[in-house]
Amino acid sequence: MASSPAGRIPLLAAQRGVWIGQQLAPDSPAYNTAEYTEIRGPADVDTLVASIHLAVSETEAIGVLFADDDDGPSQHPGRAPAWTVHVADLTGRADPLAAALAWMTDDLARPVDLTAGPVFGHAVFRLAADRVLWYHRAHHIALDGYSFGLFARRVAEVYSARASAHELPPCWFGSLRAVAEADTAYRDSGQYHRDRDHWLAYSAGRPAPVTLAGRFGPLSGTVLRCEASLDQPVKDALASAARAAKAVWSDALTAAFAAYVHRMTGARQVNLALPVMSRMGSVALRVPCMMLNIVPLWVDADPVASLVELTGRTATEIRIGRPHHRYRYEHLRRDLKLAPSDRNLFGPLANIMPFDYGLTFASLPAVVRNASAGPVEDMCLNIYDRADGSGLHVTLDANPACYTSGELAVHLRRFLGFLAGLAAHPAQPIGAAALLPGENSTSYGAVLG
């Protein structure tokens, strides 16, 4: 394996698709991803800002600039220009939260020049004496969702130490170059070829994926979003159904989404896109960077099957594919000879995160909210576990080339009702669960936002 010149790190396999997508639409902000953390209590803004600065200096993947030369695109750590945390006291505003969210929306709408940087941004807003928001944006070529969690935990750790006048704990991030070397070694390994063979066999003879829009459209620079809350009793019922299937509640939720797609389209074989972190057993577990992959999940949605039965089937499919998660979906598309104008590789995406960061800032609790998950080809169901007993946060993102805001809102309302019905009667056939808004409305357990 040839070594790279000092300071130059080739793009990871997961970064290449993002690089190409951004080059095709250099003025598009679609790859901006972000989240914000609400710290509940009298957080010290200066300490928080200092903690953010330190964590940024420790994170190679965001202190980079990108370049394209004779050896291909690459990243160069330590070259990011000077930057500052945007700080604003909004306590005098009529609606401080709305003002902060409006600022975030404007920030997310700005495209990023990967060759000029920086590829990230931070802001801290004081909404009240006991309420502070920390906003973190990063281009998807630099960080994935798992990395946001690593970074947030480091900021909280540093803040807690400084606020308590304790010695700063050493940074536990690994090396970006080590991830790049492991990435190259994987592509030269026998495991890469075994993974390729698995996904080719898994994809053989499958029908074209279905979509709830009835059509596919070009990738847009913007994303439509609807949000809702799902009550804890529904999550508990899903967990109970999952235990009966020897699975976990996220498997039950994935199965329910597949059942919804089946009921709405009539497709017996339902294809979902499943985001995976592609890090298990690798040095990347401790490195904030872009490693996200998407794998196909095919579910046999038999209308006479119950939620428990469908959950068991779904869990089995996920388990079988897990050892092969590192094989890139871009490579699978190439292997299947699917041109960009051909049918999509996936149907709707199910992004279920059965964990919460559990952040505390010197004993002050914090809640994390996603502000942008990046571009969406069709539709993406995002489920976030609040981990505080208050239920789940649900967002439904969609490509505006495929859906209208009204259609998206109807899908979210209908799916949450369908989900609550399945969870309440996990032994009944999925073909018998109510679909239309208003049917069995007392069992929905959802508060639409």
Structural tokens at position 75? 């990243």
Residue partners of 263: CB distance under 8 A and separation at least 6: 303, 418, 430, 431, 433, 435
CA distance from start to end of the chain: 52
DSSP β-bridge partners for residue 37: 134, 368
Condensed to tens digits (0 to 9), the pLDDT of residues 265-318 reads 999 999 999 999 988 888 999 999 999 999 999 999 999 999 999 999 999 999
Q: With bands split at pLDDT 50, 70 and 90, how would you rate the model's confidence at 217?
A: confident
Residue 58 near residue 154 (C-beta atoms within 8 A): yes
Pairing of strands 293-300, 269-276: antiparallel
- Torsion, Cα 55 153 40 91, to 10 degrees, reads 30
Mean pLDDT, rounded, for 132-154: 96
* CA 256 centroid distance within chain: 19
pLDDT of residue 438: 46
State the CB neighbour count (10 A cutoff) for residue 337.
7
Q: With bands split at pLDDT 50, 70 and 90, how would you rate the model's confidence at 343?
A: low
pLDDT of residue 221: 84
* Average pLDDT taken over every residue of the chain: 91
Between CA 196 and CA 180 the distance in angstroms is 20
Condensed to tens digits (0 to 9), the pLDDT of residues 109-130 reads 999 999 998 999 999 999 999 9
State the CB neighbour count (10 A cutoff) for residue 69.
8
Between 356 and 168, residue with greater pLDDT: 168
Cis check: omega of the bond before 118, within 30 degrees of 0: yes
State the CB neighbour count (10 A cutoff) for residue 237.
22
Output b/e per residue, 358-377; b: 16+ Cβ within 10 A: ebebbebebbbbbbbbbbbb
DSSP letter (8 states) at residue 281: T
Integer angstrom CA distances of residue 444 from 60, 79, 153: 45, 51, 34
Condensed to tens digits (0 to 9), the pLDDT of residues 165-184 reads 999 999 999 999 999 999 99
Between CA 71 and CA 312 the distance in angstroms is 47
Integer angstrom CA distances of residue 448 from 88, 139, 397, 429: 30, 30, 15, 26
pLDDT of residue 386: 64
Percent of the chain exceeding pLDDT 90 equals: 82
Q: With bands split at pLDDT 50, 70 and 90, how would you rate the model's confidence at 435?
A: confident
Condensed to tens digits (0 to 9), the pLDDT of residues 15-57 reads 999 999 999 999 999 999 999 999 999 999 999 999 999 999 9
pLDDT of residue 231: 87
Condensed to tens digits (0 to 9), the pLDDT of residues 186-200 reads 999 999 999 999 999
Report angle CA 205, 199, 174 to the nearest 5 degrees: 160
Residue 313 near residue 256 (C-beta atoms within 8 A): no
Between 341 and 366, residue with greater pLDDT: 366
Kindly tell me if the per-residue pLDDT of 447 is higher than 60: no
Kindly tell me if the per-residue pLDDT of 439 is higher than 70: no
Between the ranges 282-286, 382-386, 427-431, where is the mean pLDDT highest? 427-431
pLDDT of residue 70: 86
Kindly tell me if the per-residue pLDDT of 432 is higher than 70: yes
Tokens 């902060």 correspond to what residue?
100
pLDDT of residue 401: 93
Between 23 and 441, residue with greater pLDDT: 23
Between CA 92 and CA 141 the distance in angstroms is 37
